[in-house]
Chains A and B, each alone.
Chain A
Amino acid sequence: MALPTGRCEMTTVQENVVTDDAQAVPAGVPLARRLRPLIGMTVVAAVALASGMGGGADRYEIFVATHFLAFVIAAAGLNILYGYSGLVSLGHGAFFSVGAYGMGWGLLNTGLPFAVLLVLVLLAAVAIGLVLVLPTLRVQGHFLAMVTVAYASVVHVILVNWDSVTGGPLGLSISPRRLETWVPSEEVLFGFAVVTAAAALLFMSLVRTSSVGRAWRSIRQSEVSAACLAVPVRRYRVLAFVVSAVLAAFGGVIYGLNVGFLTPSEYDVMLSINLLIAVIVGGSGRFLGPVLGSAIVVIGPEFFRFLGDHRELMLGLILIAALSFGRGGIAGLLEDLARPIISRLRGSGRRTAGAGAAHEGEVA
């Protein structure tokens, strides 16, 4: 009621607008349209699954694929934190470790079923995330990166030194017998990883266009203007951090089960850096970002096996190349390539509809 509605006498403004259009435009975006990218992804996943099962993929290929999916889950969370909210974290390896070690320790030392352990591990990630986010709330950018990188190294030190729980430098071996009850084969774990990764990506893409996602994206732009737009900035920063912590821990659970053997050297600062690289190279804030980025970080080195110890170098080169494309990473580059095609298709559609034809011609 308090707004200039159609009955305002705004002649020049109104001339541009057929008021009835306001009713003609559907107010909501149909869920089917929002789910479209997801349907495509599920098909890809199903094909991958089928080829993995039926095509006679060897155990190593399934191992790498599961490793990849564990990274996708964690990177989806980090995409919410960095890609949507603009908060850099070089410490999410800490939550990945919480997931891997929490599940490993739980399987070895308690008789609880897998599902219960999973819930407990994720709740632990929430609790640890809530504690660790508090000191970060006053800092941004580089300072935030420094605080979080400290988390990653502290957790690594704890893993090395807390012998009674983590097994110290030697690590923990999840005994096959205990594991077999819940994860009878690599294929089952792979299937579980596919479903979880799809759910994580679904959540990530649906939340983006919700009021929460818009609030996160406005924080990325400017915390001051977000606050003026009624966004409780600190709460949403906490929320983004905790959500990404939970997804990182989930990725860690799958990663740990996949390897079956937990050594602290795998959960060092480099893990956190790799997770962030996956988001940035893949394309931060984009749907395909975590997928493409994880593929490069996890599967990429497999292709450069012939380089031996120098394959880390290739990752560095890809990182530099992707960063030179700009903030969109590889997903953004693909988008830029696809945009002219899409707009041409849309343009021709509009011309057949007869609307805006003159304007289109003018531009062309």
Chain B
Amino acid sequence: MGAQHIDEVCLTVSDVSVEFGGLHALRNVSATVRPGTVLGIVGPNGAGKTTLFNVVSGVVRATSGSVRLDGEDVTGLPPHLRARHGLSRTFQNLALNEEMTVLENVLMGAQRRVPVSLGRLAWDVVTRRSAARELDARRDSLRVMAALGLLDDRDRLISELPFGTRRRVDMARALSGSPRTLLLDEPFSGLGDRERPLMAEIIHAIRKEGTVGMVLVEHDMTVVTELCDELVVLNEGTVLASGDPRSVLADPVVQEAYLGPQLERRRGARR
């Protein structure tokens, strides 16, 4: 299935710059993501990883440059319309609704199928189309929940669940509603030793399906080299290096910028 999408691109970031009152959070950043691949974003704190995610999802507007989803220019669109172009994301802080059940949270992923126009929505209620859509959304959500092992908890409130399970709920929500581009914001943070391989396996499975392109922000270098097809190293808002994970991480420039302070400290200790 992956082969037919090989020259398709689901996310293109071209020459994006973001300025916050003179401060360059991002400077001429470009990247592309193909379906069935994982693009890793690494860099020290304040390198612009979060800003890049926010520019792609539409929470922060780019000062210059453009963002394309599935070939369509979405640079001027607000977040809720970008989600309708197949963009989906997980949140580092989960952003799950604690007063909702697991199923209800996962159903939020299907919100992109609901028409934006309230008039259309009202008409759909009258013609029972919204009821059919709700049923589809439930089937879709339950399918994703089954794949992620969440069915037993479907009617539990989020506040009753351990953290690792909440991460999977966040993931299930991002996966329901058939996304094309998936942004994963540190999906491994806070997970225990037993839950980490499970998350890696989930990401592997999505990659194997070949229809969803992923962007992964992660600090753990072993996870990054294991999961990513391509790596972008950000430093102070600029792309320091990009390409195959192993060769990028072996690049002396990257080691200098990323591990520089540590190396210097180690050298200092040796002296």
Contact = CB atoms under 8 A, between A and B. Distances in A.
Interface of A: 1-6, 8-14, 16-17, 19, 21-22, 25, 27-28, 209-212, 214-215, 217-218, 221-222, 224-225, 227-233, 235, 239, 285, 356
Interface residues of B, number: 61
Contacts, number: 149
B200 to A, nearest CB: 10
Contacts of B6: none
B111 interface: yes
B154 to A, nearest CB: 7
Contact of A25 (B118, B142, B212): B142
Contacts of A14: 149
The A interface is mostly helix, strand or loop, or mixed, namely: loop
A229 B108 contact: yes
Interface of B: 57-59, 78-80, 83-84, 89, 91, 95, 97, 99-100, 104, 107-112, 114, 116, 118, 121, 130, 133-135, 137-140, 142-149, 151-152, 154, 173, 175-180, 197-198, 201-202, 205-206, 208-209, 211-212
28 contacts: A1-B178, A2-B211, A2-B212, A3-B143, A3-B175, A4-B144, A5-B209, A6-B147, A8-B209, A13-B148, A13-B201, A13-B205, A16-B149, A17-B146, A17-B151, A21-B151, A25-B142, A28-B138, A211-B110, A211-B134, A217-B99, A218-B108, A221-B97, A228-B95, A230-B79, A230-B83, A231-B80, A232-B78
B89 to A, nearest CB: 6
B111 A25 contact: no
Contacts of B202: 4, 10, 13
B143 A22 contact: yes
B134 A227 contact: no
Contacts of A221: 95, 97
B107 A214 contact: yes
Given A4-B205, A230-B112, A21 B146 contact: yes
Nearest to B151: A21
B132 to A, nearest CB: 10
Scoring A14, A19, A25 by chain B CB atoms within 10 A of each residue's CB, the highest score goes to A25
Given A2-B211, A215-B111, A19 B83 contact: no
Given A10-B202, A19-B146, A27-B139, A230 B95 contact: no
B178 A3 contact: yes
A3 B142 contact: no
B59 to A, nearest CB: 6
